[in-house]
Amino acid sequence: MIIEQLSVFIENKSGRLYEVMAILGDANINVSALSIADTSDYGIVRLILSDPGEGLKLLKEHDFSVQKTPVICCKVPNTPGGLKKLLTYLTEDNISIEYMYAFSVGDDASIILRTEDCQKAIESLSHHKMELMSASQIYQI
Amino acid sequence: MKYWQEEETYSLEQKRAVQTERLIKTVNRVYENVPFYHEKMKELGIEPGDIKSIDDLSKLPFTNKQDLRDHYPYGLFAVPMEEVVRIHASSGTTGQPTVVGYTKNDIEMWQNMMARCYTAYGLTKKDIIQVAYGYGLFTGGLGAHYGSEYLGATTVPISGGNTKKQIQLLQEFGSTAIACTPSYALYIGESMKNMGIDPRSTNLRVGIFGAEPWTDEMRETIESTFGIEAMNIYGLSEIMGPGVAFDCQHKHGLHINDDHFVPEIINPDTTELMPNGEEGELVFTCITKEALPLLRYRTHDVTKLYTKPCACGRTLTRMGRITGRSDDMLIIRGVNVFPSQIESIILKVAEAAPHYVLIVDRINNLDTLEVWVEAKEGLFTDAIKSLERVEKHITNELFSLLGLHVRVRLVEPRTIERSEGKAKRIIDKRQK
């Protein structure tokens, strides 16, 4: 249930995100989810790709600092309080979140989570009957 | 009083006689008391007896900064430690400072040299001198302080920084002179204007500026900002500290106290003497110092010498402005910085050999140093907080080594320009 996310270091300069997208788009790699963490000088672009292995190779070839980071994706209902349930379980099991981002399509919302210990988070959420998504499921959204 | 000591106006013959006598004495002393020089002279096949006049100076071995480090801390001292009354030091690569020592007589000589400078600047015991150089291991503060007291002036030991207090004392203590780096003087001037204070409204009439290279344009700006005479002072701790050379009121080159520190100009590549009047690396031999009489110390400062007596009447050899360095040392707000120092810290933190570049600039009249480090593998992680930790770690390590706040920036790989496979390490945007 572990999903390979790519994290790319980019400076806060116009055109940098474009370049990342151009490299991936030209190689026919689809971006299923994306989030940017930024500081005043630089940011980290986090990407869920249809082909993370190829994406990693291509971005490295273009001299980007990029690394694979394991994350998990959990499905919650796209209703008020949907995310609250998930966070309740993680809090009870004492699992802290490093960062997360989310998107909703139709009745569902997908939450991508980065925790210190992915395996522990997977166990906790499975135990509470939460629906975890596999890599191939996300790539098809 | 026009001169502090009559030695400043010795005829060339008188001076040569004094230099010869002092050099011979010094060479004998270091040959006997400093194993390093004993060995060096043996290697060159010379003995003290071969040094018969000041013209034989060029037969002697050179001393490099590295030699001081190799004999850290006291290995080049020519007197027993019980004779040493003062230690100063400058920051060094990988945290090992360059240590210098002084006997009682050395301190006496130093304050005499400083009094010569002050006198040439038109200062007397009636003046109030605000010493805004840093006090401590750095020679600037205490050097200027002892000289000021020796002159008989009222000395205000405020040390560096704390700009508001500097301005308050300038206004309320009636300081007539201030000793600091020229860039700090400009910063004080800007701060006064921002506070709505006219920098020309104080009693200040002389500035004693040194510890970093500065231009004639900066001199003009400082003089018109404060309505003062901006005087240059030159020195380096290995030779003594401030007071090795000084401006007179004609401002036509710095007068070297060459009855104590004999200058030579060499070709930095071949180490051969340059013809008279040509530019090259400045080398000093200390001929009166007791604790640390360095022979032919290579300053790596590039300049030229004038032997013609100055219109002020002094016959001391003059040196031009420092036009550059024959090594890669940077001077940032008076602090000597070697790129290798910064590299060693980046290596320590990054556990790899990332490309980096040093960006030196002057913003609001203050030198700034930025270090750009490529965020490559080993340095880059997915979490902002760990990237910030890396930046902070490097910043803190550099602060504890140099005492300078250095801005550290992570940049994308390959953004730092490579030339012929080698990275350009320094971009100095300051006006020369």
State whether residue A36 sits within 8 Å of chain B by CB: no
State how far the alpha carbon of B282 is from the alpha carbons of A71, B276, B304, B343, in Å: 61, 13, 8, 27
> How many angstroms separate the CA atoms of B395 and B342, rounded?
10
> How many angstroms separate the CA atoms of B373 and B349, rounded?
11
pLDDT digits (tens, 9 = 90+) for A55-73: 999 999 998 999 999 999 9
Q: What is the pLDDT of residue B91?
A: 65
Give B376's contacts in chain A (Cβ within 8 Å): 65
Number of other CB atoms surrounding residue B234 within 10 Å = 25
Give B412's contacts in chain A (Cβ within 8 Å): 9-11, 16, 42, 63-65
Give Cβ neighbours of residue B173 (< 8 Å, ≥ 6 apart): B128, B130, B156
Amino acid at B201: S
Q: How far is B375 from chain A (nearest CA, A)?
A: 7
Q: What is the pLDDT of residue B428?
A: 87
Q: How many CA atoms lie within 13 A of B219 on its CB side?
A: 17
Q: What is the pLDDT of residue B272?
A: 96
Q: How far is B358 from chain A (nearest CA, A)?
A: 17
Give the mean model confidence (pLDDT) for residues A73-98. Answer: 93
DSSP symbol at B274: P
State the DSSP H helix or E strand holding residue A132, giving kind and residue range, or none if neither. Answer: strand A131-133
> How many angstroms separate the CA atoms of B182 and A66, rounded?
45
8 Å CB contact between B248 and B314: yes
Going by C-alpha positions, the residue among B222, B273, B278, B279 that lies closest to residue B247 is B222
pLDDT digits (tens, 9 = 90+) for B85-126: 999 998 654 456 899 999 999 999 999 999 999 999 999 999
* List of domains in chain A: 3-70 (3.30.2130.10), 71-139 (3.30.2130.10)
> How many angstroms separate the CA atoms of B97 and B221, rounded?
35
Asked if the Cβ–Cβ distance from A11 to B415 is below 8 Å, we say yes
B50-56's contacts with Cβ under 8 Å and 24+ in sequence apart are B51/B23, B51/B24, B51/B27, B52/B20, B52/B24, B53/B16, B53/B20, B53/B23, B54/B16, B54/B19, B54/B20, B54/B23, B54/B262, B56/B23
Chain A with chain B: Cβ pairs closer than 8 A: 47
- Out of A5, A44, A64, the one facing B384 most closely (by C-beta) is A44
State whether residue A69 sits within 8 Å of chain B by CB: yes
The stretches in chain B having pLDDT less than 50 are 93-94
pLDDT digits (tens, 9 = 90+) for B130-149: 999 999 999 999 999 999 99
* List of domains in chain B: 6-327 (3.40.50.12780), 331-428 (3.30.300.30)
Smallest CA–CA distance from A100 into chain B, residue: B383
B90: β partners: B98
| Cα–chain center distance at B427 | 21
pTM of the model: 0.76
Token representation of residue B360: 């030196």
Smallest CA–CA distance from B407 into chain A, residue: A41
8 Å CB contact between B407 and B370: yes
DSSP symbol at A94: T
- Out of A41, A44, A63, the one facing B382 most closely (by C-beta) is A44
Asked if the Cβ–Cβ distance from A41 to B415 is below 8 Å, we say no
Q: A45 pLDDT exceeds 70?
A: yes
Smallest CA–CA distance from A116 into chain B, residue: B383
Q: What is the pLDDT of residue B2?
A: 87
8 Å CB contact between B135 and B157: yes
Tokens 């150089």 locate to: B133
SS3 of B330, please? strand
State whether residue B375 sits within 8 Å of chain A by CB: yes
State the DSSP H helix or E strand holding residue B242, giving kind and residue range, or none if neither. Answer: strand B241-246
Q: Is B80 exposed, middle or buried (0-12, 13-18, 19+ CB in 10 A)?
A: exposed
State whether residue B411 sits within 8 Å of chain A by CB: yes
Give the mean model confidence (pLDDT) for residues A94-105. Answer: 92
> How many angstroms separate the CA atoms of B359 and B381, rounded?
25
Q: What is the pLDDT of residue B432?
A: 58
The residue with greater pLDDT, A20 or B377, is A20
- Out of A7, A65, A98, the one facing B412 most closely (by C-beta) is A65
8 Å CB contact between A78 and A108: yes
Mutation target among B374, B381, B382 for the A interface, most CBs of A within 10 A: B382
